Structure 1
């Protein structure tokens, strides 16, 4: 902790320009968070060894991976496990939700999509590059939007919510809650709608929850 404070004080004293000083501090903290996250991930990976081996897996090797998160780009080492008759896996990646072959974390993609819903690809890239610790081009923004649209559409098509319902049921009141999301594209925009049908309300403390 003392070394961190020393570094911060050094940055503050070394910069005379207000903007340059704050930018230097921002970069320092982002880099610090990235390094701490790297160390934490690798420690978690060690903790997953025994549990994974109990499932019949054995360590094959350690590979390095880089993921762009809201904290910036994080590079870390994690173990790859193999088991006869089963797919090889990276338990740490699965735990963190870091999908295979995908460069951006779930929250990073979510934040980018939220900005892109009200801005152009170029402006979205500008906002992300200005306020975060990683850079993205407008073309990369477009690719993320297309990928997200395909995933949402595939998920909706695969959902079979009403399987297993064999008979109709009468209820005093039927609640219908709807929501939607719009994903803008260069030529068109994709609209997805979700509806939830509920038959009752459950009081949870001061809040109310719908009962499906």
Structure 2
């Protein structure tokens, strides 16, 4: 500690301004941290090696390895050992949870993925270089994001497999009402004139107020570029794992497009004892209305809107026919015909779910949160000339999903080679207290002394000293 204080004093004295002082101190602290952590790893390696030797493992050689941590590269020595079956191991790396050929710490990999989900790979690399001791290329940023995203994807796949193999539904949280919305977002692929569809589902328990602001209660997202069947399998596995929906009323919302029809919701939430309510998304109805009648308000548009609100098919047909008779352009007629077909095909789904249930929950609101939540995908993955490979697109949306659901780090660590069982074994193998243990010095007992008295023994101070004897 004295050496660190002396070094800091020297840096402050030699620096010309406070900015240079802080930068120099930061670099120095990075050096101190990396050196100390490297020494600790070497001590841990020695402890593990001795125990493995007692178990019959043989030492083959000593190697050096460098791992990039958030505060700098840590270089340490590890031992290559052969077990009783002559299989090679680096016990220290297994204890730390470091994969073979891994060059970045778990925190660095997860932080890079989280940052890359919000800005470009190049911006991520520049930000890391400016604010941390991590320096890497934008290609490395992309590789790390794919690795972390694949961990979340494997976690979701295992959840689906576990549900398929289980004999009964897992117990989860019980709710009276459960809400689900689904839609797709298309992003540009690397193949010319080919897009990739990101399937996106949003599930939540209702709404909650914070002052005047209303937000979704316990919102969770499921995103993937898999085919429709794989997407709905993940939605079903996620909801069945976290919720017990047997006695819950399910209310769903979608635009009715391919892959997001009412039967998909019914099949996915078939565990509920009640029929699944599926309404047509109001945003897409309004979008179709503007496409057919224009954005400006007019008599036809207002009356058609009222017919939809009252669910009056006869009035809707009259106003559509009347408006069609005023059209002269073929393109306008085609737009109106497309809108009419869309409404008639989904007529039974045009309703407000609050009019379909017997007891409307307190603070119930209309559905339609999906469109605003699509920005998590569109803001990062669309425009600006971006093109995505299938692997990169899946990894990105899985990282997005993990961040929104707060499961990314847990999924990443679970997919590392260090399992829960290994972690328990690790705690038994190496105890930090044994590494930091210092031999105690022999006690010399209590030291003797006297209190000088500069007054008569008969005085008050003299009497007090006598009481101590």
Please, what TM-score do these two structures have when normalized by structure 2? 0.38
**CA RMSD after TM alignment:** 2.9
Q: Distance in 2 between matches of 1:171 and 1:91?
A: 38
Unmatched runs of 5 consecutive residues or more in structure 2: 179-203, 205-217, 224-375, 406-469
Per the alignment, residue 116 of structure 2 pairs with: 116
Per the alignment, residue 206 of structure 1 pairs with: none
Q: Distance in 1 between matches of 2:162 and 2:58?
A: 38
Q: CA deviation at 1:137?
A: 1.5
Unmatched runs of 5 consecutive residues or more in structure 1: 196-212
Change in Cα spacing, 1:167 to 1:47, as seen in structure 2 (3 Å) is same
1:187 maps onto 2:188 in alignment = no
Q: Distance in 2 between matches of 1:6 and 1:162?
A: 60
CA deviations on 1:141-162 (whole Å, 9 max, x unpaired) are: 1121223333433443345323
Q: Distance in 2 between matches of 1:139 and 1:169?
A: 41
Higher strand share: 1
Change in Cα spacing, 1:126 to 1:41, as seen in structure 2 (3 Å) is same
Change in Cα spacing, 1:180 to 1:102, as seen in structure 2 (3 Å) is farther
Q: CA deviation at 1:84?
A: 4.4
CA deviations on 1:152-202 (whole Å, 9 max, x unpaired) are: 33443345323663356899936987455789675233323589xxxxxxx
Q: CA deviation at 1:85?
A: 2.3
Per the alignment, residue 37 of structure 1 pairs with: 37
CA contact (8 A) 1:97 1:105 kept: no
Q: CA deviation at 1:57?
A: 1.4
Q: CA deviation at 1:26?
A: 0.3
Q: CA deviation at 1:83?
A: 2.2
Higher helix share: 2
Per the alignment, residue 70 of structure 2 pairs with: 70
Query: Secondary structure at the residue paired with 2:119?
Result: coil
Q: Distance in 2 between matches of 1:53 and 1:89?
A: 13
1:58 maps onto 2:258 in alignment = no
Q: Distance in 1 between matches of 2:126 and 2:100?
A: 27
Higher RCO, 1 vs 2 (CA within 8 Å, ≥6 residues apart): 2
Alignment of 1:25-174 (within 5 A): 25-159=25-159, 160-162=161-163, 165-167=166-168, 173=174
Q: CA deviation at 1:94?
A: 1.3
Q: Distance in 2 between matches of 1:136 and 1:85?
A: 39
Q: Which moved more, 1:119-128 or 1:55-64?
A: 55-64
Q: Distance in 2 between matches of 1:172 and 1:64?
A: 49
